[in-house]
A and B are shown apart, each in its own frame.
Chain A
Amino acid sequence: MEFYRPETIEEAVALLARHEGARCIAGGATLVAMMNAGLAEPAALVSLKRVRGLNGIERHEDGSLGIGAMTRHAETARSPLFREGQRVVPEAARRIANPPVRNMGTMGGSVCFADPAADYLPALMAADAVIEAVSPRGHRTIKIDGFITDWYTTALVPDEIVTAITLPPAPARSIGVYEKLDRVTGDFAIVSVALIVEFVRGECRNVRIAVGGCGPAPIRRPEAEQALEGSGLEPAALTEAGRLLVAASDPVDDVRATAEYRRLVLPRMVAKAFARARAQAELAA
């Protein structure tokens, strides 16, 4: 197995293009675990640790954020640069695995592995993130809601590397909440709900809900968000939103939970996330 440590992104994508079966290694937390288990035997590895320009979180004047693909979860978790609804992302980061793994794992690595029960994807989806990627053919952007195409599969092509994730500014005064149900702390989610919402005189505005753990990709449904837009979180509105999200879900049975339980608990988790968002809004008021 060859091991490369390129220092520029151009070098990195050229290596991917040249070596069939070459894989990128970002933080390594997922890939090395798979290699240790004999589930991955890459012909070549391209380490991204020394590639310039992949680190750091930057806040732009318009309130948008650029997060380098190699940003560790620990850095994302404690960054003060996420504002308002964008805070759903660091809250998700804080729920990933455990502190030492958060020192290793990266947002780019996590997003590319596309584990449906991982924590970033629903949060990034609620936040309308955009993926920036580079290949030998140049640079392109991919919206998050088209980024996951199937179980553990993204829209990236083999010689493409994610360089950054950008978040648009969140609506003013919006609250971001990440609600996760797991068997024990640090496990993958059974069901997770990422929520961005603004409360104006007790009514919901700019509702964005993304649900994780219930299908190959996080679920976002404009109809569900519409059902709650302008509502004061009345039971009927919550029930309708829940019903629509369950209808759009495609959960499986696995060792963490049954599909039936996931469908049962999904609306309740949505309600829980909203209750917490509202409490935060009331505190802020």
Chain B
Amino acid sequence: MNVVGRSLPRLDAREKVVGAARYIADLTRPGLLFGAALTSPYAHARIKSYDVRPALAVPGVVTVLTGEDVKGGRFGPFIKDETVLATGKVRYVGEPVCIVAAEDERTARRAARLIEVEYEELPAVLSPEEAMAPGAPLVHEANADYFRVHQTKCGGNLAWETSFAEGDVKAAWGQCDVIVEGEFETQAQAHVALEPCGALAEIDAAGRITLWSANQSVFRVQANVCEGLGLPMARLRCLTPRVGGGFGNKMEMHVQGMTVALALASGRPVKFILSREEDFEMVRHRHPYRIRAKTGAKRDGTLVAREVEVVVDCGAYGDDSPGVLGFSLLMSRGPYRIPNMRAHGRLYYTNKVRFGAFRGFGNPQVSFATESQLDEIAERLHMDPLELRRKNAIRKGDAWLGGGLVQSDGFVKCLDAIGRTEAWQKRATQRAAPATRRGLGLACSSHISGLLATGAVIRLLEDGSIVLNTGAVDIGQGSDTVLAQICAEALRLPVEQVVLASPDTDGSPYNWGTTASRVTYMVGRSIVAAAKEVEQKIKDHAAAMLECATEDLALRPGGRVGIEGVPEKELSFREISLRAHWAAGGPIIGSSSLMYDRPTVDPKRTVASGVPFPQIGVFSFAATLCDVEIDEATGKVTVREAWSACDVGKAINPLSVEGQIQGGFAQGLGFALCEELVWDGGKLANPSLMDYKVPTSLEVPLKVHPLIVEDAEPDGPFGAKGIGEIPICAVAPAIANGIAAATGLRLSRLPMTPERVLRGLLEEEETHAD
């Protein structure tokens, strides 16, 4: 292969290093106004009245809108429960209530603060436990009436309920020689993409709206805004400038609906960029989880049964929460052959900012519980934790929970890769520095790549070069480059001859979104199929021009096609394309529409309910190893070095894959040790980078070794599948297992702050002293 498998520099790297890349905040339009929002000071309150006159009186203010002015419908990916502005009542501190457009940003913000809103405060529910209590205040009175995309139990503050069951868990406990049970708790984590959310909307002379925004899917923006504002989708064109990271924060609506509303009302283009604090308070975060897990095994290490029960905090609106709930349960069996399995979870509305998609999508939370528990089993059985996992490892041909087909042996290969590291081989001789304890911790994970729909259109330009249009947004993870590589390889062209069309709801075929680690696999597959169509059409022309059969023809590198075995008989793509454009056939276009179609659940083997995705699959695997050091005086945990083996099927761009592995590790490190959103009543106590801390270059170990494992996925493009999320999923349990190996202390709550570790160590000391 010429292009696939090569670590080509990113196509957009140059513009970024010279400061020329344009992100949403860098865009401007003639006559631009700036948007700002007044947000709710209450967690739960009825809106009684608005007085916008003080804001309208400020010089430079052009438009002021309240929830009464912005009529539309309810939107939401799974539950249609949200409106563009709060209507009737507010459900979380930070919820947008009124919006202002003014000549400059300072004026807009100042004016917004002058709007007088009268509230009647209502009792709030601030946790799932409060939400589920009998007689609890209702976050959504109309909960049971909301349209839901899939069937589920709901009512009161219960937003969604999902379960999977295979085998006979109840009976299976009796077959176990060792059973471990525990409760775990994970915290809300903030995405902290370096770029805050923002949008810019402009109405053209025909009344059509053009909307640029930082997003992970132009199509989700279009659907959400049109549903929220009651607009026909043909009226809204959604585009994407460069995006400064998303990690899930930009997959669904943020300020786009408000921005369009202001543009429509004022008749002028409006730009609305959130401050960092607003990004924390207004948008979305990773779901807090409570997990009860129970795992049973035989004396020889064979895993027999597992039960996982989760209670998930939804926040004030559904957003992607049902998906997160369902996915976390689907992943809770882990990459192991456990014949008896029950996973059940409930999602509760609370009066806090909504929780939504964040790299891992519920998997990091449940993996913290299940992978910690697996090490506990290993310890009870005096088994090596790697060998316990290998013994039960899922393999090619096995069924996933629900019945999905596993088509790679990548998991065992990941275990092998970790087993081969010097650190693992020499683990018995590892020594701690003075006043510290040291331990190696291993944990594993799985993820998916196949979900929902996408398309690809390839057009041969007159000169033989290619325009590739998929609609997939590159949020910085490098999909533009990878997709160009796949297309170039499929047509044996140099990558310079492939240009990617920018995602555009007017012209791009469709891509559900840059999420779920799905772009390489889904869009890549689509591109390969579209390229086949282009290849066939090229050959049809060449057969006519060279007077041969299409079967005798083969593509040659550099944009040529010729008769196999006859070097002189060849034509360039340019010659063929000119014929197509001017003489016969019409422009050469290849297209593909793809829906991931393998069912999540085979009802003959699994009883499931409330499943939020009827079709999901393409399983990938990872094993993460952390060399963990604990300061005995303070309890502070440092990861000295880490190894992350990830099964990607085929690394289209190895350097990019490594970057994803290392970046995912760093976010997992933050999740494990230092990141935590804290509420003071209904209000976030640390909605700023001063108070919410992410790992710096001095927290992430200098060496995070990415170990790429390639076990070709049969229908992946060139064997490839996803990498975006799996590197984060096993980091927290790997560190927890390292702490346990070093000190015997088992932590069941994240983050594992110095305080929690030190308290745990001192309690252990006291217990042993008794």
Contact = CB atoms under 8 A, between A and B. Distances in A.
B633 A184 contact: no
Contact of B636 (A33, A181, A255): A181
Contact of A269 (B633, B674, B685, B694): B633
Interface stretch (B295-303, B583-591, B752-760): B752-760
A186 B696 CA distance: 9
B678 A255 contact: yes
A185 B699 contact: yes
Interface in B608-665: 633-636
Contacts, number: 55
Contacts of B634: 181, 265, 268-269, 272
B754 A184 contact: no
Contacts of A14: none
B758 A265 contact: yes
B694 A184 contact: yes
Contacts of B753: 183, 257
B686 A184 contact: no
B118 interface: no
B755 A184 contact: no
B755 A257 contact: yes
A271 interface: yes
Interface in A227-285: 255-258, 261, 264-265, 268-269, 271-272, 275
A261 B755 contact: yes
Interface string A177-204: 0000101111100100000000000000
Contact of A185 (B691, B698, B754, B755): B698
Contact of A37 (B277, B633, B699, B758): B277
Label chain A's interface by main secondary structure.
loop
B18 interface: no
Contacts of B692: 255
B763 to A, nearest CB: 12
Contact of B674 (A183, A258, A275): A183
B694 A258 contact: no
B698 A258 contact: no
Interface centre among A181, A183, A256, A265 (most CB of B within 10 A): A183
Interface in B676-708: 678, 685-686, 688, 690-696, 698-699
A268 B633 contact: yes
A275 B435 contact: yes
Contacts of B759: 261, 264
A185 B633 contact: no
Contacts of A187: 693
Contacts of B277: 37
Given A265-B633, A269-B633, A185 B758 contact: no
| Chain A: number of interface residues, binned into ranges | 20 to 34
A234 B347 CA distance: 55
B696 A185 contact: yes
Interface in B718-770: 753-755, 758-759, 762
> Looking at chain B, what size class is its interface with the partner chain?
20 to 34
B678 A184 contact: no
B691 A255 contact: yes
A211 to B, nearest CB: 14
Contacts of B635: 265
Contacts of A37: 277, 688
Interface centre among B633, B699, B753 (most CB of A within 10 A): B633
Nearest to B670: A184
Q: Describe B's contact surface by its main secondary structure.
A: loop
Contacts of A184: 674, 693-696, 698-699
B758 A183 contact: no
A184 B636 CA distance: 10
Interface string B269-307: 000000001000000000000000000000000000000
Contacts of B696: 98, 184-186
A184 B753 CA distance: 11
Nearest to A272: B633
A261 B758 contact: yes
B350 to A, nearest CB: 20
Nearest to A255: B686
Nearest to A186: B696
Nearest to A33: B690
Contact of A255 (B633, B685, B698, B762): B685
Nearest to A188: B690
Contacts of B688: 37
A190 B692 CA distance: 14
Nearest to B109: A38
Nearest to B692: A255
A183 B699 CA distance: 10
Contacts of B694: 184
Contacts of B755: 257-258, 261
B704 to A, nearest CB: 17
B765 to A, nearest CB: 13
Contacts of A183: 674, 693, 753-754
Contacts of B690: 33
A269 B647 CA distance: 43
B693 A271 contact: no
A181 B754 contact: yes
Interface string A205-234: 000000000000000000000000000000
A265 B633 CA distance: 7
B482 to A, nearest CB: 32
A192 B554 CA distance: 71
Contacts of A271: 633
Contacts of B758: 261, 264-265
Interface of A: 33, 37, 98, 181, 183-187, 190, 255-258, 261, 264-265, 268-269, 271-272, 275
20 contacts: A37-B688, A181-B754, A183-B693, A183-B753, A184-B674, A184-B694, A184-B699, A185-B698, A185-B699, A186-B696, A187-B693, A255-B691, A257-B753, A261-B754, A264-B759, A264-B762, A268-B633, A269-B633, A271-B633, A272-B633
The 7 closest A-B pairs by CB, nearest first: A185-B698, A261-B755, A268-B633, A255-B686, A184-B693, A272-B633, A255-B691
